[in-house]
Amino acid sequence: MPEYKAPLRDMRFLIDDVFDFHASYAALGATDATPDMVSAILEEGAKFCEQVLAPLNRFGDEQECQFNNGVVTTPKGFKEAFAQYVEGGWNGLAADPAYGGQGLPHSLGLLISEMVGASNTSWGMYPGLTHGAMSAIHAHGSEEQKQTYLTQLTEGRWTGTMCLTEAQCGTDLGIIKTRAVPQADGSYAISGSKIFISAGEHDMSENIVHLVLAKLPDAPAGTKGISLFIVPKFLPDAQGQAGARNGVSCGSIEHKMGIKASATCVINFDSATGFLIGEANKGLNCMFTMMNHARLGTGMQGLCLGETSFQGALKYANERLQMRALTGPKAPDKVADPIIVHPDVRRMLLTMKAFNEGNRALAYFTAQLLDQAHRADSAEAREEAENLLAFLTPICKAFMTETGQEATNLGMQVFGGHGYIREWGMEQLVRDCRIAQIYEGTNGIQALDLLGRKVLGSQGKLLRGFTKIVHKFCEAQADHAQLKPYVAQLASLNTQWGELTQKLGMAAMKNPDEVGAASVDYLMYSGYVTLAYFWLRMALVAQQQLQAGTGEAAFYQAKLATCAFYFKRLLPRTAAHLAAAEAGSECMMSLPAEHFGL
């Protein structure tokens, strides 16, 4: 298994130099998040992930979760690691102090989540789902619900889930069958079955708090009739502790391709007592708070697993001896040269590096937006951050997981035949990463959300909010001595982005299928242009640091070299996505279903 090391140097480059988290924290009044505290959090978080979580990763994949008569047991060491995580205060790092949290910025929580996911993705699912549940309850729950549930969730004594999917519906939540019948005491009797529930049952906490979508007896049809309920495994007693067992049970766990140590459960509700969150029939709005949190976390999984795969591939490429370099021996004292001398191996490693570091920049920029959306003084600033978040969330989820999957595949390829063998650990990263393109809304759904709802649905407003940022950057750096050609390339693509959007919008007015036909290519085009912007921001800072002679020249030169690789080797993929997006729906939709084959 690759030995994961937290990429602290690259993380600090982004938070200190590129995005200046410290100035942002000061402006938002997050005075506790001093540079010294941020540094200490990174150092201690890295130790926990490297020394506690990473060693459990392969073992968890091999042992998997065990199911016995409704009881789920996590792999050996998982429960103890969670107790250590809670004891270290990591679970409540960014949580509201009113309910026991430390109240630090959300972006700091994301930095820890990156290290957790990269060291042990399966284990990270348990606190990840809990943080999503906490965000939904905090945003939409009553004060009594917050006092009852958030305090326990923040403390880590209870964990949380989100229960959406049913056997007959995944994306189309309007046809869920789970029902909620009002009771005389103000509670609801919840009956139904949910599938694919991550962390739905396990042995790591005293109680599990399920957030469940269900319909009232008189609910309107479709998504307008969905309500959200808190349904705990154990009902809180008078003291707020886990009391009597509720009508909630685990029917089975799934046997999956990857993330095998994450319990993916069938959860049955048999007249279970539930409590309404927010307004009746407005549950989908409440759940989107949790889903957007989860989608950003899922996007991070692409980065996390790509990073771990890169670390393993880089070490192997420097050690594995095969053939001689085409330009002559590079290690004449050895029987062959290390494979890192070969251009194709360089191509794979640089592709991984370019995606990982570009995606990290995108993720950290988004993390800053989360802070601004929660903490900015003015309503205008909060709205601007929320609009940018709405636009970037589907890109984060889909583009980061698509490129993360490519990175893990390349990492396995660097190992050759050894990469296909379990003992090296590279194939596990491929398997673990694959689900990220599917859950929390498939990447096809993310593409529809981006083009159909976020871009065309806002008449281009959300797109312009980001392309204006890119345009201003390109204007400011148009004559930069070293970066001028790349700035011009980005400026051209940024203009083309708007033109493509207008063309697709006009086509969709005549035929709505044009949106569905173009959406995936549109999203990938958007992702490549977005990463190009962040690569230029990183290259600009790297060039400035080199000219200032601040040291670590090799680090900054590597940034510039990787930026050049991205613009010359990866960004040209936009041309293919542009051509495909503009090709129209006719070639997809004209073939009758019965003529596909079989």
List, by residue number, the catalytic residues: 440
What is the C-alpha separation between 517 and 391, in angstroms, rounded? 20
Measure CA 405 to chain center.
Answer: 13
In the numeric block, the tokens 């041309």 are attached to 575
198, 125 Cβ separation under 8 angstroms: yes
DSSP bridge pairs for 264: 198
318 in helix, strand or coil? helix
Segment (H or E) for 67? strand 66-68
DSSP bridge pairs for 179: 191, 215
153 in helix, strand or coil? helix
**What Rg do the C-alpha atoms of the chain give, in angstroms?**
24
What is the C-alpha separation between 595 and 598, in angstroms, rounded? 9
Segment (H or E) for 524? helix 513-548
**Residue 556 φ/ψ, nearest 5 degrees:** -70, -35
What is the C-alpha separation between 46 and 473, in angstroms, rounded? 33
CA distances (Å), 90 to each of 85, 98, 558, in order? 6, 17, 33
What is the C-alpha separation between 301 and 391, in angstroms, rounded? 19
DSSP class of 338: B
CA distances (Å), 270 to each of 160, 165, 241, in order? 19, 17, 22
DSSP bridge pairs for 321: 338
In the numeric block, the tokens 């242009």 are attached to 529
What is the C-alpha separation between 287 and 267, in angstroms, rounded? 18
What is the C-alpha separation between 155 and 473, in angstroms, rounded? 43
560 in helix, strand or coil? helix
Which residue spans within 146-289 are E strands per DSSP? 158-163, 179-182, 188-198, 207-214, 227-232, 234-236, 242-245, 248-253, 264-277
Q: Which of 112, 9, 105, 5 is nearest to 538 (CA)?
A: 9
CA distances (Å), 4 to each of 53, 103, 312, 350, in order? 10, 29, 8, 19
Residue 262: Cβ within 10 Å count: 29
CA dihedral 20, 25, 26, 30 (to 10 degrees): -160
CA distances (Å), 402 to each of 117, 228, 308, 356, in order? 16, 31, 16, 12
